[in-house]
Amino acid sequence: MDEQRHETIALLGPAHPLLSDKEHECLSSYVRKCDRRLMFYLCMGYATDSLNKMALSNAKIAGLTSDLNLRGTDINWALGAYYVGCFVFQLPSNLILKKVRPTYWLSGSIFCWSLVTILTAFVTSARELIWCRFVFGAVQAGYLTGSIYYISFWYPRHMVRRRMGFFFASAGLGGICVGPLCSVLTSMDSKWLPWQRIFVVIGAISLLWSLLGPFVLADYPDTASFLSSDEQQLILKIMEHQNTVASTQQVRFVQVKMALLDFKVWLWTAIDFCANAATQVNGMFGPSIIESHGYSPQTAQALTALTNFMAFSGMASIAYIARILRGSSTAIALSNILTICGFLLALCSSNPSVHILALFVFSFASPQPAAHGPAWQMCNLQGNTKPAMAAAMASAFGGLGPLATAFVYRDEDRPQYTRGHLVCLLMTVACFVVTLVLRRVLAKENRRRDLDCGDLEGMSDEQVQDLADNHPHFRYRL
């Protein structure tokens, strides 16, 4: 326990007062309560988001294409429309979160996308399907970035990465469930078509979960009724030191400008963009890839539980991998190498068994950079507005990566999908290169600050706060 306490103190910064044994126990109690209550709700919410996103890829092989008479790239446009909706509405979403109670914003997002998913069951044309997916992306846009930002002002900086790992891993948990669930729904007899049952049931599941939000979530640590006064005072002291107290601060447009002009934020965004392109292959096309090798739709849907289990395993382990490798950047680079091996395996062989093996490999490795990237970014940003804006930028522009994936995996290329695998291979190589560049930039900046600590004399408290992670005492984590 002493070793863990000293690690906490070191990561909070040398200017932070030493935590006593009582304070350390108080912090542990606070974290346990937040994990069991807030993180559980957020993770299960993200798992239902995964269910809703993957509903279309499973509905596709359950008769959606033939029943709606979809032709050519209609299904690709439907898949891509979701990411366009996310892009359009994600940038302002975290700024709106500063004005709206997080409790209602996050649970309301789940409620809205659940309704859209249910309504998708009643579309009658490709155009209606595409518009439904666009609206689904629009109302879902605030949940991912909102949750990332929400986590950052509830947990001390050094605890964020592990919670982000659990959060992103929950998407894999949803993926594990969606295949077998859709297989059962496809095999049932009812007045609705198989693909309609998929949308209605999955939408209903997440809608019920959304109703619990106002009763489970709390807005801010210093206003949470489930915390003791000692816990509130301690976490407020820590967050004030980190300059991440969200409840008492307003949107600072100077920090919005800082985020837009900070090239490091754009490098993190590039990592997200490239990583997400490969990450979504299994979610969008896993059932189609498996079915193209001769499996029935029900079997293909059931088998995606295994590929999604691989994705879940990869994302659940990110915090431990980063700790073993002593940094998120090294973990991202390693997972990039494994992903490259998976795509090369798929490109260099025409054997169906090898293709399925390749799907397992890049399903395990490719989600890890998409989870490491935001966690790495949030650990390295300070201020009350800059982290929110940077998270929205990375999620919005980074979310355009899967838009490219949606159009390069075409039915006419099955079962090899050479074009799609090649594009994702190149994107993964780009992610690897940008990660190494960013690591070098951060290490160089740390060395510069070690030599020149800067002078804060004459600056007001507000000006010091607006320095955010440009504060001379701040050090970046690699």
Is the pLDDT at 117 greater than 90? The verdict is: yes
Q: What percent of the chain has pLDDT over 70?
A: 86
CA distance 287 to 303: 8
- What are the pLDDT digits (tens) for 88-115? 887 677 667 667 788 888 999 999 999 9
Burial track 41-63 (b if 16+ CB lie within 10 A, e otherwise): bbbbbbbbbbbbbbbbbbbbbbb
Closest CA to 54 of 138, 178, 139: 178
Query: Could you tell me the CA-to-CA distances from 6 to 12, 17, 324, 469, 478 in Å, in that order?
Result: 10, 12, 18, 23, 20
Closest CA to 201 of 89, 319, 338, 62: 62
Token output for 79? 């898949």
Is the pLDDT at 321 greater than 80? The verdict is: no
Better-predicted residue by pLDDT, 68 or 92: 68
- What are the pLDDT digits (tens) for 335-382? 899 899 988 988 888 888 888 888 888 888 888 777 777 777 777 776
Closest CA to 435 of 289, 304, 330: 330
CA distance 54 to 179: 9
Instruction: Please list, in sequence order, all residues whose beta carbon lies within 8 angstroms of the beta carbon of residue 66, skipping any fewer than 6 positions away.
Output: none
Confidence of residue 6 (pLDDT cuts 50, 70, 90): very low
Closest CA to 368 of 478, 271, 287: 271
CA distance 475 to 469: 8
Confidence of residue 17 (pLDDT cuts 50, 70, 90): very low
Distance spanning both ends of the chain, measured CA to CA: 25
Can you give the three-state secondary structure of 38-83, one letter per residue?
A: HHHHHHHHHHHHHHHHHHHHHHHHHHHHHHCCCCCCHHHHHHHHHH
pLDDT of residue 4: 40
Q: What is the mean pLDDT of the chain?
A: 80
R_g of the chain, CA atoms, integer Å: 22
Pick from 6-10, 173-177, 219-223, 301-305: least confident: 6-10
CA distance 226 to 238: 19
Backbone torsions φ then ψ of 471, nearest 5 degrees: -60, 135
Helices then strands, each counted (H, E), the chain: 23, 0
Token output for 441? 């930039």
Better-predicted residue by pLDDT, 359 or 1: 359
| Tokens 């605890």, located at residue | 159
Cα dihedral 287/288/290/292 (nearest 10): 160
| Side-chain-facing half-sphere of 343: CA atoms under 13 Å | 25
pTM of structure: 0.73
